Amino acid sequence: NAGVTQTPKFQVLKTGQSMTLQCAQDMNHEYMSWYRQDPGMGLRLIHYSVGAGITDQGEVPNGYNVSRSTTEDFPLRLLSAAPSQTSVYFCASSNLGTQYFGPGTRLLVL
């Protein structure tokens, strides 16, 4: 099993550009989440999903969209990138037990 995979590993965007961060898991987990990690603030939940077709907002959802058309994939879309979205983004999955995290995507918005 590959576990949780994320692409790209690193991305530089200009303010106003849009992009999609990809996340996939091969463990047949129902629950998937996106977090961002900023220095001194810990990880904060952006959006999460409890199954295909079902998503909800976390603590810091503004500026991000998600969808979950399949159990395996949970992409995160930045609609119009802002410097405040410079961060490291982690995707996670679980079946209400241990949460498994991907390796992260480092995003720099100029």
Q: Give contact residues for other proteins (rule: CB under 8 A).
A: 31, 33, 35, 40-45, 48, 50, 58, 90, 92, 94, 96-104
Closer CB to other proteins, 84 or 95, in the complex: 95
Q: How far is the CB of 4 from other proteins (least distance, A)?
A: 8
Q: How far is the CB of 15 from other proteins (least distance, A)?
A: 25
- Ranges of beta strands (E only) in the chain are 4-7, 10-13, 19-25, 31-38, 42-51, 54-57, 64-66, 76-78, 87-94, 100-101, 105-109
What number of other Cβ atoms are within 10 A of residue 51's Cβ? Answer: 12
DSSP state of 1: -
Closer CB to other proteins, 17 or 67, in the complex: 67
Q: How far is the CB of 80 from other proteins (least distance, A)?
A: 26
